[in-house]
Amino acid sequence: MTKDEIISQLKEMGDPRALKIWGKMNMDTSNYLGVGLTKIKKFAKKIKKNHSLSEELWDTGIRDARLLSFAIADPQLLSKANLIDKAKELDFWDLTDNFCSFLVAKSDYGAELADEWRYSDVEMIKRSAFVAVAGLAKTKNTLTDDYFDSYLAQIKKEIRSDKNWVKEGMIYALMGIGSRSENLNKAAIAVSEAVGKIIVDYGETSCVTPDPLKYLTGDKVKEKIDS
């Protein structure tokens, strides 16, 4: 399947209602066709891994195509420079989160890039650091508790005053880190209790801010840690 064939199919799959919904959240929908992430992931399974095609799709600048590009890319074939260049073009959390989960956290540079991005003044770059850490916390690697403890300390210090979408990224990091081990679970719960309720502005939508304390003290996380 070629790039043009894929774009044609994405256009057919687009839903104008999705543009209205995302627009209410203040996302720029000018390059968005309205294809939901579930459909994109299903489409990606049909295409399968194709790294060169993923780069072509990214270069189109079409949001849906870029989301698809993450799902069919091989993160091991991406250079650090390539990941940095892509991060500079992230303009909203949908791209940011999928970029981090599909690529950054699975690349050889996940922890390194998170450390470089964690103090950025650019909202989506800083969010990338924390969403990447959330992904790193959920995967098997050699990262120590001390590594994640440093992020918990930063979250405790900055979450209440940080930019809107960074706050949400920090919440996801808090939840991911607290799911990694018993010690980190206790530490993440302590941070959640210390910072209190965090409010993320989702615009004119019914979206609700995740509750990290409720999540971290739930049976699902406890079962995961004990397994």
pLDDT of residue 51: 94
For the chain, give the DSSP string: --HHHHHHHHHHH--HHHHHHHHHTT---TT-----HHHHHHHHHHH---HHHHHHHHHT--HHHHHHHHHHS-GGG--HHHHHHHHTT--SHHHHHHHIIIIITTSTTHHHHHHHHTT-SSHHHHHHHHHHHHHHHTS--S--HHHHHHHHHHHHHHTTTS-HHHHHHHHHHHHHHTTT-HHHHHHHHHHHHHH--------SS------HHHHHTSHHHHHHHH-
Averaged pLDDT for residues 207-214:
96
pLDDT of residue 140: 87
Which positions ≥6 away from 161 have C-beta within 8 Å? none
**Mean pLDDT (the chain, rounded):** 96
Structure tokens at 12: 């057919």
pLDDT bin (cut points 50, 70, 90) of residue 65 is very high
To the question of pTM greater than 0.75 for the whole model, the response is yes
pLDDT of residue 72: 97
Per-residue pLDDT of 122-178, as tens digits, reads 999 999 999 999 999 999 899 999 999 999 999 999 999 999 999 999 999 999 999
pLDDT of residue 200: 97
pLDDT of residue 226: 84
